[in-house]
Amino acid sequence: MQFIEALKLRSKLLFLFLLITIGLISVAIMGTTYVNAMKRNIDSLYFGSLVPVTELNEILQKYHNGLADTLYKASRKEISTSEIIFNLEDSLDEINKKWKSYISHFKSEEEMEYVEYTNLEIKATNRYFQQILYAAKNGKDLTKISINTLEKKVAYIHRVLQKLINYEVSVAYYERKKFLHTYHTMMLRIGIILSVVILGILAVLLYVFRSIQKDHTQLEIAAKKLKIANKKLENASYTDSLTDLHNRRYFNFVYERELKRAKRNKTYITFMMLDIDYFKQYNDTYGHVEGDFALKSVAKVLKDTLKRPSDYVFRLGGEEFGVLLSETDESNSAKLSREICDAVRGRELRHEKSKVSDFVTISIGVVCCIADEALDDEILISRADEMLYEAKESGRDRYIITSNVSAATTKPMHEEVHRNAS
C-alpha cells in the first residue's frame, strides 16, 4: 500500500477509476452501460444548471465592471468620450444578449413570474444607462453624474439578479437531490450484481478513499489560507498605500452607510474635511519624499486622536483628508478638531514657506448635526468644503464648525483659531 501513499491526488483518482472500471468490465456490459448512463445524467444536471447561473453572473459583472466602472471613470475624466460611449454601448449589448440567452432556457411557471419581474427591472435600469449614453453622445458633461444614484441603481439590480441566481442554485440543489435518490436506487440494483467483485476490491478502495480524504483535508487547509489572503487583498483595495488610512473608495461606501444609520436613529453625525496648509509649497521646498512624510505624520495624528471603532479616517486625495464621526455632538466635534490642529502643529515639522507658522499646520472644515430624513446626502460634504474654504480664507491653521446644513451658504455657527504660542 505504500505506493498509493506516494501517488499524487490525480494519480490516486486515476488508480481508483481503473480499479472500478476493471471490476465493472469483468462482471458484465450491463454494469458499464449503467455507469455511462449515470455519467450522462450528471453532465446534463451540472452543466444544465451552470449555464443560467453563469449568464446571470456575467450580466452582474457587466453592470459593475462595464457600466458602473465606466461612469466612475467618466465622473473623474479618466477616459475619453469615445471610450465612454463604446464601453456603455458594448456593455448594454452584452447584457441584452446574455439576458435573451438566459430567458430562452426552460423556465417553470413559478420561475417565469420572477423572470418577468426581473426583465422589467433590467429594462428600467438599462434605460437609465441609455439616457447617460445619449447625454454622452450629445456632448454633455458627465462629471456631474450622481454617483449616489448610480450606486443605488447598480445595487438594486444586483439584488434583483442575485435573487434569481439564488433561485437557480436552489433548483440545481433540488434536481441534484432527486438525482441522488435515483442514483442510490440504481446503485442498489447494480450492487446486487457486482457484490462479488466489490467485496474483492473493497479493501483497496477503502484505503484509496482514506488517502484521498487526507489530500482533501490538505486542500481545505490551503483553501482557507487562500480565503484569508483574498480578505487581505480586499482590505488592501480599501486602504491608501501611503498612509494606511481608508481611501476614497471606502469613503463612498462608509459615508452612505453611516448617514443612513444616523438618519434611522436620528443621532449626531459629523464630517470633517482637512487640508494641509500650503502643501504645494512644502513639496516644492522639501521634495516629495518629505511631502510623503508630512502626509504620514498627519495620518498618524488622526489615527492617534480618533480611536473609537465608529471613527472613520480617510485620505480623500492629495493632501486632503476626511473624518466621519457618529454620535458626537458639536462640542466634542469642536474639541477633537482643536486637538487635531494642535497635534499637527505640535509635531513641529519645519515649513519655512508657510505664511501662518514655522511648522506644518492644517485647516479643517467641520459640519455637525442631528441627521433626519430631510438631510440631503451631499450636504455634509458640500458644507464641510465651505467651512474648509472659510478656514483657509480667514488665515488657516484653524477649524471652523457649523451645525447649519441648509442648502444655502450660511455663516458658521462656531469658529476657533489656533496659532503658535510664539
List the catalytic residue out of 168, 258, 319, 330: 319
Residue 319 is among the residues annotated as catalytic for this protein: yes
Measured between alpha carbons, how far is 118 from 115 in angstroms, rounded to an integer? 5
Backbone angles phi, psi at 57, to 5 degrees: -65, -35
And the C-alpha cell for 361? Answer: 499646520
CB count, 10 Å around CB of 236?
Answer: 10
**Dihedral angle computed from the Cα positions of residues 350, 353, 356 and 360, in that order, rounded to the nearest 10 degrees:** -30
With 0-12 CB in 10 A as exposed, 13-18 as middle and 19+ as buried, what is 141? exposed
- DSSP characters over 246-276: B-HHHHHHHHHHHHHHHHHHT-EEEEEEEEE
Contact (Cβ atoms closer than 8 angstroms) between residue 256 and residue 148: yes
Residue 160, CA distances (Å) to 50, 106, 125, 165 in order: 19, 20, 11, 9
Strand order, beta sheet including 362-370? 312-317, 320-326, 268-276, 362-370, 398-402, 414-417
Measured between alpha carbons, how far is 110 from 116 in angstroms, rounded to an integer? 11
Residue matched to cell numbers 496659532: 419
Measured between alpha carbons, how far is 203 from 48 in angstroms, rounded to an integer? 36
Measured between alpha carbons, how far is 113 from 115 in angstroms, rounded to an integer? 5
Task: Report helix, strand or coil for 325.
Answer: strand
Residue matched to cell numbers 439584488: 159
Mode of pairing for the β-strands spanning 320-326 and 362-370: unpaired
Residue positions annotated with a catalytic role: 319
